[in-house]
Amino acid sequence: MTAPDAGFDCLSSLLRVRAGIELARTKTYLVESRLGPLARVHGFVNVSEFLQRLARDGIGEALATDLVEAMLNNETFFFRDIQPFDLLKERILPQLRAARAASRRIRIWSAAASTGQEPYSVAMLFAEDRESWEGWTIDIVGTDISRRAITRARSGLYSQFEVQRGLSIHRLMAHFEKAGEHWALSPEIRAKVRFQPLNLLGPWSLGAPFDIILCRNVLMYLAHTCKQEVLARIHRQLSPDGRLVLGAAETVLGVSDAFAPDWQNRGLYLPAGLQPPTFARAV
Instruction: List phi, psi (to 5°) of 261.
Output: -75, 145
Instruction: List phi, psi (to 5°) of 12.
Output: -60, -45
* Helix (H) or strand (E) run with residue 4 in it: none
Which residue in 144, 152, 243, 262 is the catalytic one? 144
Q: How far apart are the first and last CA of the chain?
A: 57
Judging by DSSP bridges, how do beta strands 176-179 and 182-185 pair with one another?
antiparallel
CA distance 279 to 87: 13
The one-letter amino acid at 182: H
141: β partners: 109, 194
User: Do the beta carbons of residue 206 and residue 154 sit within 8 Å?
Assistant: no
Residue 144 is among the residues annotated as catalytic for this protein: yes
Which residue in 16, 18, 34, 171 is the catalytic one? 34
Q: What does the radius of gyration of the chain's CA atoms come to, in whole angstroms?
A: 20
Angle between helices 6-19 and 47-57 (to 10 degrees): 70
Catalytic amino acids?
34, 144
